[in-house]
Amino acid sequence: MIAIIDYGMGNLHSVSKAVERLGYEAVVTADPQTILEADGAILPGVGAFGDAMQNLRNTGLDEVTRFYAASGKPMLGICLGMQLLFSESEEYGQHEGLKLLPGAVIRFNGDFKIPHMGWNKLSFLQSESPLFNGLDEGHVYFVHSFHAKPEQSSDLLAVTDYNGPVTAIVGRGQVFGMQFHPEKSGDLGMALLGNFLALTRSAESQQRTAQ
């Protein structure tokens, strides 16, 4: 079962339907026990970083999310959900994030169109990542005005080019993030989501073996 964490901000329905289309059970939930017992967790998000973190803190889901990440089971942040994995953001002030990945979320700055909106090609930096199993580089759909700057290059799995390299996919251990919405990014987006979900079956199998 895949828990889609409901903290009041995010395309919960579209993510849930995409997970189900790929053959997995999905539940949209804010219940800590349900989240912690899930085989995989997805942290979606649309909106402002500060509001999202405030909602997570008000519901206690910030600590639940950190605890889940520490469990070693697969977790995926999508769009704003990916940005929340980082230490901090400068969106409408300075805000602390979940601090699962060191780095900051900053605004695009330059003489070009903001937000970054449209189909852009991914460049895989770490082809050995399980997210890229059987996949070729291709285009996915972005809509964002802020972008993440990881402190450690090992956390950066894929970039796209928008007036310079832009963080597209991050990962450390079993914690992953995608700046784009995979469920709205055609065949490649769904394949990337499918590869993440496949990791949850491995986690479920390991859990049963341990029992």
135-166: pLDDT as tens digits: 999 999 999 999 999 999 999 999 999 999 99
Q: CA–CA distance from 190 to each of 15, 33, 90, 143, 183 (Å)?
A: 10, 28, 30, 17, 6
Active site residue 137: no
DSSP structural state of residue 184 = G
Active site residue 183: yes
- Which among 13, 137, 183, 204 is annotated as catalytic? 183
DSSP 36-48: HHSSEEEE---S-
For CA atoms 37, 38, 41, 46, the dihedral sign is negative
| pLDDT score, position 10 | 78
Q: Which residues of the chain have pLDDT under 50?
A: 205, 208-211
| pLDDT score, position 204 | 56
The top-level CATH class assigned to 2-210 is: alpha beta
| pLDDT score, position 203 | 56
| pLDDT score, position 140 | 98
- Which among 95, 116, 144, 181 is annotated as catalytic? 181
- Which among 25, 79, 88, 147 is annotated as catalytic? 79
| pLDDT score, position 209 | 38
pTM of the model: 0.94
CA neighbours closer than 13 Å in the CB half-sphere of residue 21: 15
| pLDDT score, position 211 | 43
| pLDDT score, position 205 | 47
